[in-house]
Amino acid sequence: MPKPSPTRYRTTNWSDYNAALRQRGSLSVWFDPDMVWYAGKTGKRGRPETFSDAAVQVCLTLKVLFGLPLRQTVGLVESLIRMAGLDWQVPDYSTLCRRQARIGVQIPYRRTGRLLISTQN
**Weakest mean pLDDT among 4-8, 35-39, 107-111:** 107-111
**Alpha carbon separation from 53 to 50, 73, 82, 97, 115 (Å, rounded):** 10, 16, 20, 13, 29
Q: What's the Cα-to-Cα distance from 26 to each of 21, 29, 107, rounded to whole Å?
A: 9, 10, 20
Mean pLDDT of 77-101: 92
pLDDT for residue 108 is more than 60: no
What letter represents residue 73's amino acid? T
- Average pLDDT for residues 38-53, to the nearest whole number? 87
Q: Residue 23: its pLDDT value, please? A: 82
Q: With 0.95 as the threshold, say if the pTM is over it.
A: no
Domain boundaries, the chain: 34-40+47-120
Average pLDDT score, the chain:
83
